[in-house]
Chains A and B, each alone.
Chain A
Amino acid sequence: MSKVVITGLGLVTPVGVGVRQSWESFIQGRNGANEMKSFDTSKYKVHRSCEAKNFQWDFELKNQIKENTIHKYVYCAAREALQESGLLHDKKFNRERFGIAIGTLAAELTPFERLLRLDTSKKDNGFDKIVAAVYPPNSITNILSKNFDFEGPTMISLNACSSGNHAIAWAYDRLVDNKVDVVMVGGGDMIPQTEFTHFHNLKALAPERCQPFDKNRQGLMIGEGAGILIMERYEFAKKRGAAIIAEMVGYGLSCDGFHMTAPHPEGDGAVKCMSDALKMANISSADIGYINAHGTGTPHNDKTETTAIKRVFGEGAYRIPCSSTKSMIGHLMGAASAVESVVCCLVLRHGVVPPTINYEIPDPECDLDYVPNAAREVKVDHALNNSFAFGGNNATTIFSRMG
């Protein structure tokens, strides 16, 4: 069975454009929250989120929209990842064996919203030719395919907040099956007013800042951006002399089958997907050196996730650094687990674990090592990334250092 490796990473996050800038911010514990700029929040009780800042756009896409879009974020992250992997300008391979898998929660909803705000008399007014072209989710794969000559099988993963990890799992299966040599995989999302209102009215939004695992945590903050990983068959990467960042060793999927918005109270689904991921990776729970928690900052999620981690790792749970980068960048929804998988690869590479910021008061129900407020140097061999979506749609991925 072929090994699967990562050879390129790309990021657009609320704390930086590009991997280097984002990683520096993560290590410094920068808070990416800001007053919402992209739409008027005066009728809401919450006015903040984590928007992508200083995003520069120097390219040209088909059906391009003036404002920021998922297409633009994903394009830039993909370009960066391909550059690192050495595949950006190298066109000599069989491109029919280069696939694409991208996760998104909302797809290109914001261009529709923008257009409909101009004339709200009829819902039809949200559409013009450009919106009709960019609105179907698979327009994202079409844009990437067209611009980067990836002509293999594609998939858009619509799995809410675990979309990115589902895309990574899909890619892993096709690489192991030797159906493809390379998959550009990841996720992208914007902050549509629709999703903002949804979380706002569920009272799930934190007013000021995101405080995962803190006793006074008040909810999540929505973020935007994209994360891309270049995944390859090990033999293919080795043959072309690519530098290997990490190995993707396994994943687990599960479904709570329990409630539309609340997680299972004992975290049954979360336990299953972490356990299945460890089983597929064929490593013991004691080998995991870092957990990038789903850690949204909602009272429910953080408590349940803590319970689930303890059920899987037993006493060992207290030993594992387990941070939530959502404390800095917010919840990137469909892109979250893709960005966090990139973070796991960076942890393996640099031997530094990013902190959970805004952490002040310990919660007796959340008593793990959340790496509070300051990054820490730790050599990590295996990193685990959790994602648990509304509706109980869970996916966990595991990345390892190449021995």
Chain B
Amino acid sequence: MKKRVVITGLGVVSPLGCGKEAFWNNLLDGKSGIAPMSTLDLSPYKCKLGGEVRDLKPEVYLGSKGLKYLNKGTRFLGSAAKMAIDDARLPTDGSLSEQMGIVIGSSLGNFSETTDYFYEIIRNNPSELSPMLSYDVALNSSINYVSVIFKIKGLARTVSAGFTSSTDAIGDAYKMIQRDMAQVIVAGGVEQISIDLYLIFYLRGLLSGLDGTQEASLPFDKERNGFVMAEGSYVVILEEFQHALDRGAHIYAEVKGFGNTFVGGKDHPAEVRMCRAEKAMREALEDAEVKKEDVDFISANANGCKMQDAIEAKAIQSLFGAGSIRIPVSAIKSNIGESYGTAGAAQLISSIMSINTGKIPHIMNHTKKDQTINLNLIIDKPLKKEIQNTLINTMDYDGNNSCLVVSRLCK
């Protein structure tokens, strides 16, 4: 018999603030975390906006000792993990170490630290560089740091799958607990803005404003013109149901299903991409044994990309048929931007807050309706609604589609 998996802790480091309360209140208040980027020299380039993390005080979560050796991603992930572990009231005396794992999604991992180090190598005498500078040259070094800090001994895995990395990590962790490989898993994602990430998006022509129109994050809007990149770390504590009950943990929600598909590296027509996106949603619902009529809310992937938003809308319309005009759809990337390999974890936390508060945040700046998108988009103000089951979508231009079904706990 498969084990049930619940969520008992949340941690957020986001452009909308740190901690679940700040993140959630700012989402409901319709605040934006997007602004001209302050950490990169973008003078040679057209696109200037980003969702940067601005107010993290890592010493609050990780202490001051040794902090200077931790890179940005490690600070993000370490802080978010600490918040989640504390929120779940997990013991920190090491008594859970062997039953505890960590599975994190990150598209690039520590690529920017790795390339920073190479930049030092070619500008200095390489054999004189301190080894302390190079701890980050493995792409998973942030996760390793966090496993050392929190004495995690069960397992550690870093998953990279473009925009769906953190959804895949959470899906992976959920399956691991189902199979009894760990009792508790720290799961989520981490992504940091760097010139590396910026240039990948820029040179691939994916950023908003590249076509000369105004830069903005406009999911599903008629005037959407690409996405605004963002950073952060979003972490949840996944826990085996009975384990959580036995220690009297607060249970936020239950992870019920995961589905993922891939379109492949080929230039498939939009129709094929739409079918595979639909299939990922269907697989997640089947895995959850939740009927599509019982989905109360969809957290959309929509990030403002012309083609991908349209494909997602069509996939939802195709799967839910007439029901698609009934189910409320929100897209938090209007507020926080596209945080790539950690986006799914951000949507998961927002959706859990919706389940727990009965409120769905609205899509910001949505002014021009796209007539081809016939969904019940929540705009203008948050929607109050009792929610039992939510569907969380993450999809990308490389063809990854990963979806989660998360539900209010039924005892």
Contacts and interface: CB of A to CB of B under 8 A. Distances in A.
A138 B162 contact: yes
A113 interface: yes
A173 B157 contact: no
Given A107-B111, A145-B265, A260-B144, A124 B118 contact: no
Contact of A391 (B111, B147, B202, B204): B147
A257 B127 contact: no
B119 A116 contact: yes
A260 B153 contact: no
B117 interface: yes
Contacts of A244: none
B307 interface: no
A255 B204 contact: no
Contacts of A282: none
Interface in B255-270: 260-266
Contact of B109 (A142, A158, A253): A158
Contact of A138 (B111, B140, B400): B400
Interface string A185-212: 0000000111101101110000000000
Contact of A135 (B126, B130, B172, B196): B196
B121 interface: yes
A138 B162 CA distance: 6
A269 B264 contact: no
Interface string A227-258: 00000000000000000000000000111111
B200 A166 contact: no
Most chain B beta-carbon neighbours within 10 Å: one of A104, A127, A143, A268: A127
Interface string B110-135: 01001111110111011101110011
Contacts of A297: none
Contacts of A151: 262-264
B398 interface: yes
Contacts of B279: 96
Contacts, number: 234
A153 interface: yes
Interface in A111-135: 112-113, 116-117, 120, 123-124, 126-129, 132-133, 135
B168 interface: yes
A253 B199 contact: no
A208 B291 CA distance: 63
A62 B175 CA distance: 35
B106 interface: yes
B356 interface: no
B148 A154 contact: no
A153 B260 contact: yes
A328 B41 CA distance: 46
A391 B140 contact: yes
B160 interface: yes
A159 B147 CA distance: 13
B140 A160 contact: yes
B5 interface: no
Contacts of A45: 127
Contacts of B28: none
A55 interface: no
A120 B148 contact: no
Contact of B121 (A96, A143, A197, A261): A197
B244 to A, nearest CB: 22
B153 A391 contact: no
Nearest to B199: A127
B117 A194 contact: yes
Interface stretch (B81-89, B95-103, B319-327, B384-392): B95-103
A146 B266 contact: yes
A86 interface: no
A304 to B, nearest CB: 15
A137 B134 contact: no
Contact of A145 (B44, B122, B264): B264
A197 B117 CA distance: 9
A2 to B, nearest CB: 14
Most chain A beta-carbon neighbours within 10 Å: one of B140, B151, B172, B398: B140
Interface in A69-119: 95-96, 99, 104-107, 109, 112-113, 116-117
A291 B134 CA distance: 31
A6 interface: no
A158 B264 CA distance: 20
B102 to A, nearest CB: 7
A216 to B, nearest CB: 23
Contacts of A198: 117, 131, 134, 137
Interface in B137-194: 137-141, 143-145, 147-148, 150-162, 168, 172, 175, 179, 181
Interface string B259-300: 011111110000000001001000000000000000000000
B261 A96 contact: yes
A234 B108 CA distance: 34
B107 interface: yes
B111 A135 contact: yes
B121 A194 contact: yes
Interface in A46-86: 62
Contacts of B131: 198, 201-202
A269 B147 CA distance: 12
8 contacts: A116-B118, A124-B199, A150-B264, A154-B161, A197-B129, A198-B131, A272-B98, A391-B141
Given A99-B262, A392-B147, 5 more contacts: A158-B140, A177-B175, A194-B117, A198-B134, A260-B144
Interface of A: 43-45, 62, 95-96, 99, 104-107, 109, 112-113, 116-117, 120, 123-124, 126-129, 132-133, 135-138, 141-147, 149-160, 166, 170, 173, 177, 192-195, 197-198, 200-202, 253-261, 268-269, 272, 389-393
Q: A-B pairs with the 10 shortest C-beta distances?
A: A391-B144, A146-B265, A142-B265, A132-B203, A253-B155, A255-B156, A156-B160, A198-B134, A151-B264, A160-B138
